[in-house]
Structure 1
């Protein structure tokens, strides 16, 4: 974690801040190693402090190596705000950065009240997590492998008559058996006409029917790191329109993967896939970005979208590539891989086949 502290202190120097408060769980874990659900980090040029309560002090002492762990209580004299104010006063810190994209207005008001002699400045830290080190990539790969195995398993489970909810439950159960801490997000299962809903939640009363597309979007969390996969299969034989749209989305997805490489802007990668769908006349039915970063959060920077014209990909980033076509009252499909940006270009971490699977 030492080099991550150095990055925070570099941010202090660049911004002229005396200290930075870190409250976003992903960033708190990234800089300290602490995995508890409650805690606040204060970093200055000379110290690194982690504030937490009785439930986590022992855990924090083991995980947050190099940090001073400060236990706060519930009384006026020992609560978090009082202990934080004492620590800031003790170091004579004047200008404090806070994560304005995460801190609520109420929390900000409380900080202002308890730190009357400090100036609070917004600071953004998520960019520090964009480029993954080798250890992070290994954890993401393990999360990807778990999701891949769950997909292979679910193919033998799918059949007409079972519900979308049962499919989601089986996927999540299998990922847990394989070592996942939890699903990376609420599992998406959309069958038939519901496939036109990109983020359809599985319904307990929607049964799979012969001849339908079934889109499944899910991921695993392994030691904090997430994976993301989407596959669309058909129960029975695909009809001509299903084959046409599947081949179109697959062509776009492969083009998007191929476009992933260091130096490419996020909008260029998005366009590589989007242009194929647009040229086929389905552009208005692909209404979301091509992909997003994956790591300690399931959705993080960089975002592969038409509007992200200046951010360039860097070796070590991990992104999803997930084009789709969604036709109201007909259905839709999406194909998604988790992809590593490498020095040589793109490395697809997802191993599951992308050929159209027809389940007889």
Structure 2
């Protein structure tokens, strides 16, 4: 996946009659590595503290290493207790290489094909689920083979009308609700192409918007503008979050901005570094990729969010999507 970083890849046979037990085959490969690099008895770290994983190519059945895998690693290397290297791995993943960034640009180009379908189909009387499924289908149709991509999948989650006020929830989902005139429609879109992820949100008004909704939207876009010049090296996640949050609070919507401003992404839908959060001590570095997603929600009424994905560079930030953020 990270072609310019990988120096040595070992494969384990799986799924055929001649493959044998997957743990036995993996043990053979690990023993080869242990002998080759003189690792017997040495300290061995592995990712022990993950709580979520990025779906593999067979996303219907993710494989999650657990106790049996840890026992296998410990038995092979015969060292002291295994060390949790999750923090080190997260820090390494946070800095994307030029190759990684080029791949991320491709997945965002694919994602934009789905956003175009969302805008085109968003009309009164059309069901949320019909729009979101069409978005996912278009991304698969457009994405497979696009600039060499071989595995493409999307998760489109559309919430309209009163449901949009819950679009910040951890598990938003499209429904059979029909779109109505005057609805706010929030589309949360995750796209993965050959292991690289986009995470974009666009909000559109169906037909018209109230003055309050327009004011909230303007505050969100002003917050996006205030944040943009701060997306550079040495600034902290807390400083970036504060800049956008100040704009939204000044517009009278402090209580409506109830989530963080952004999170890392790229190798996963959500990565822990960097976090744009009021308490974040993360320092931005060139190569980091973060979402920027200020939002405002009126409980039981409506929600509005605009989410961009941005690469931190030594100079100006690189926005990975140029798709319209217009509300109407």
State the TM bucket, normalised to the shorter chain: 0.7 to 0.9
Give the Cα separation in 2 of the matches to 1:229 and 1:75. Answer: 37
Q: Which residue of 2 aligns with 1:191?
A: 160
TM superposition shift of 1:211 = 0.6
Query: Does structure 2 conserve the Cα–Cα contact (< 8 Å) formed by 1:267 and 1:305?
Result: yes
Bigger radius of gyration, 1 or 2? 1
One of 35, 50, 53 as aligned partner of 2:10: 50
Q: Which residue of 2 aligns with 1:122?
A: 84
Higher relative contact order (CA 8 A, sep 6+): 2
Q: Does 1:297 align with 2:268?
A: yes
241 and 183 in structure 1: CA distance in 2 versus 1, 3 angstrom threshold: farther
Alignment of 1:76-91 (within 5 A): 78-81=24-27, 84-85=30-31, 87-88=33-34, 91=38
Q: Does 1:254 align with 2:200?
A: no
TM superposition shift of 1:83 = 5.3
CA RMSD in angstroms comes to: 2.8
Greater mean deviation of Cα atoms: 267-276 or 127-136: 127-136
Query: Does structure 1 conserve the Cα–Cα contact (< 8 Å) formed by 2:10 and 2:29?
Result: no
Q: Which residue of 2 aligns with 1:93?
A: 40
Give the Cα separation in 2 of the matches to 1:153 and 1:327. Answer: 27
Q: Which residue of 2 aligns with 1:337?
A: 308
117 and 331 in structure 1: CA distance in 2 versus 1, 3 angstrom threshold: same
Q: Which residue of 2 aligns with 1:68?
A: none
Q: Which residue of 2 aligns with 1:74?
A: 21
Q: Which residue of 1 aligns with 2:59?
A: none
Query: Does structure 2 conserve the Cα–Cα contact (< 8 Å) formed by 1:30 and 1:129?
Result: no
One of 267, 282, 294 as aligned partner of 2:253: 282
Give the Cα separation in 2 of the matches to 1:49 and 1:353. Answer: 41
TM superposition shift of 1:210 = 0.6
Q: Which residue of 2 aligns with 1:137?
A: 101
Q: Which residue of 2 aligns with 1:216?
A: 187
Q: Which residue of 2 aligns with 1:182?
A: 152
Q: Does 1:160 align with 2:124?
A: yes
Q: Which residue of 2 aligns with 1:7?
A: none
Q: Which residue of 1 aligns with 2:213?
A: 242
Aligned residues: 300
Could you give the per-residue CA deviations for residues 165-190 of structure 1, whole angstroms, max 9, x where no partner exists?
11111111111122153335x32211
Could you give the per-residue CA deviations for residues 140-175 of structure 1, whole angstroms, max 9, x where no partner exists?
111111222322232221111111111111111111
182 and 257 in structure 1: CA distance in 2 versus 1, 3 angstrom threshold: same
Query: Does structure 2 conserve the Cα–Cα contact (< 8 Å) formed by 1:230 and 1:336?
Result: yes
Could you give the per-residue CA deviations for residues 23-81 of structure 1, whole angstroms, max 9, x where no partner exists?
xxx88x88548xxxxxxxxxxxxxx563522459xxxxxxxxxxxxxx973199x4434
TM superposition shift of 1:98 = 1.4
TM-score calculated relative to the size of structure 2: 0.81
Q: Which residue of 1 aligns with 2:291?
A: 320
Q: Which runs of 5+ in 2 are unaligned?
A: 51-64, 145-150
Give the Cα separation in 2 of the matches to 1:203 and 1:105. Answer: 36
Higher strand share: 1
TM superposition shift of 1:219 = 3.2
Give the Cα separation in 2 of the matches to 1:268 and 1:131. Answer: 20
Q: Does 1:228 align with 2:174?
A: no
TM-score calculated relative to the size of structure 1: 0.74
